[in-house]
Chains A and B, each alone.
Chain A
Amino acid sequence: MFPLLCLDNVTAGYGEKIVIKDFSLTVNKGDHILLLGPNGSGKTTLFRLILGIIPPLKGKVEYPMGRSVSYARQDPPSSPFPISVEEVVEMGLWKSGREREKTINEALEMTDALHLKKRLFHSLSGGERQRVSLSRCLAQNSPLILLDEPSSFLDRESRDSFISLMEKVATPERAIIAITHDSTVIDRLGWKEVALERRRDDE
């Protein structure tokens, strides 16, 4: 057991509004988790907490092996600003020269997106953007990857192929937490499920 992330009785929210209360979770190396729950139950807030974007109001967030998390959001940005696929994948890299090139190529190859390398990110389809975002996470080589509803904007064919991709990258070397509402994803992946409940305002 190599714990990567320990959430100990955390409470989180925005200002007065508490979204998650007294939530605990330990994620070990090789854990593959599906985070389930209705809208407003705090799934994305939990990700923001893990990523350090918001601090916990109570409790502790610990990374026993150091904080190294990569994250792909639900709707990768699609504004028509010229950033190439290659530049997106290299964002999390601190390498240069041939090593950089090799890592980018390997990460894109793993998601079958190498042919997109020279394309502009905003010109890609939803499925292609998800693949490239996953490549960026893989290139970062973090032991923990967070995926926020990766299949939500995909058509059936793209979703099936993305599920196969998730199966492929879910190796014992890395932990993945994926938020999903998609029953096909839940059934096909068969990963451990963690559910969040929506809190009532009077709780």
Chain B
Amino acid sequence: MNRVIMLLSLKPILYGLIGMLISGTVFPICGVIIVRNNLMPMRYMLMHGVILGGIISVSFSLPLLPITIILNILLVLLMVKMGKGKDGSLGSSSTAMMVFTMALASLFSHVSGVPAKDTLEVLWGSPFALTLSDLYILFFLAVMTLIYITLFFRPLSMIFFDKEVAMSMGVKVELHNTLMLLMTALVVSVSMKMVGALLIDTLVILPVIGAGKRAKGLKDLFVRSSLTGFILSLSGYFISLYFNLPTSGVLALLSVGAYVLESLAEKISNRRIKNA
């Protein structure tokens, strides 16, 4: 324990803890948006945006986070401009943009002479790599997310419930959809640096899917997801420090464990209702 306390006196460890706590608490809120609006395919596009950002950042010795944020915002705006498919989803345009991003990443890597394996480090991420300016960006993003969800909870709940009903009540559905996409782009960009692409679902998606099994309403879903994310990130971080293990791996394992427990609790509860 003394070792963990001693480690916390080191700046990268402390920054990592602060980063994990902020993102663990606030990012699952964005996960609710991703799950509800079925933005799962879009996050692949955003992850590839981060890889392209990684190549550009290495080529020009630029800071990774601002580059990936700008790139992902541009990708989202391009995707929105391309429009929805016949099924009303952004699946087709996000796939096209993902391929476009991969092509650019491949060409850029070749032209600039940056070995692809160097940029693949981005896929793993690390909370210990967070700088003070990254933390400012993270804090700003978290505050903006909370303000947006709090101020627009009612219109958002209408959109989540039924877009046509929301439109009939005067909600600007297209504007909110674009804002939600941009927020997702920002969260994915920042999460990549924290836990890496391969484990992004750990922090953003799984807490929501797990919490959704027992949530009693939308507000309850937001609170439960956020609480789950907070507990997971805090415990995952300390366990990884204590046992000297990679944070992303520990966090992912805990997240899957929490999901399995939620599923079991749901099954038991359903059985009780059936027997009553």
A interface list, Cβ under 8 A from B: 48, 51-53, 67, 69-71, 73, 76-77, 81-84, 86-88, 90-92, 94, 118, 120-121, 140
Contact = CB atoms under 8 A, between A and B. Distances in A.
A132 to B, nearest CB: 11
Contacts of A88: 161
A84 B168 CA distance: 20
B164 A73 contact: yes
A134 B92 CA distance: 36
- Give 10 closest A-B pairs by Cβ, nearest first: A84-B217, A82-B215, A51-B168, A71-B168, A53-B167, A83-B218, A82-B221, A77-B162, A91-B158, A87-B217
Interface string B169-196: 1100000000000000000000000000
Interface of B: 36, 154, 157-158, 160-162, 164-165, 167-170, 212, 215-221
Nearest to B169: A92
A70 B168 contact: yes
A48 B251 CA distance: 47
B216 A52 contact: no
Contacts of B169: 70, 91-92, 140
Nearest to A71: B168
21 contacts: A51-B167, A53-B164, A69-B168, A70-B169, A71-B168, A82-B212, A82-B217, A82-B218, A86-B217, A87-B217, A87-B218, A87-B219, A90-B154, A91-B154, A91-B157, A91-B169, A92-B169, A94-B154, A120-B216, A120-B217, A140-B169
B212 to A, nearest CB: 6
Main DSSP-derived SS at the B contact region:
helix
Contact of B217 (A71, A76, A83, A91): A83
Contacts of A82: 212, 215-218, 220-221
A36 to B, nearest CB: 22
Given A87-B219, A91-B169, 15 more contacts: A48-B164, A51-B167, A71-B165, A71-B168, A77-B161, A81-B36, A81-B160, A82-B215, A82-B217, A83-B218, A84-B216, A84-B220, A87-B218, A91-B154, A120-B217
B188 to A, nearest CB: 21
B36, B168, B217: residue with the most chain A Cβ atoms closer than 10 Å: B168
Q: Pick the most buried of A82, A90, A94: most chain B CB atoms within 10 A of its CB.
A: A82
B168 A118 contact: no
Contacts of B36: 81
Nearest to B220: A82
Contacts of A52: 167-168, 170
Nearest to B158: A91
Nearest to B35: A81
Contacts of A67: 170
A91 B218 contact: no
A91 B165 contact: yes
Contact of B218 (A51, A69, A84, A94): A84
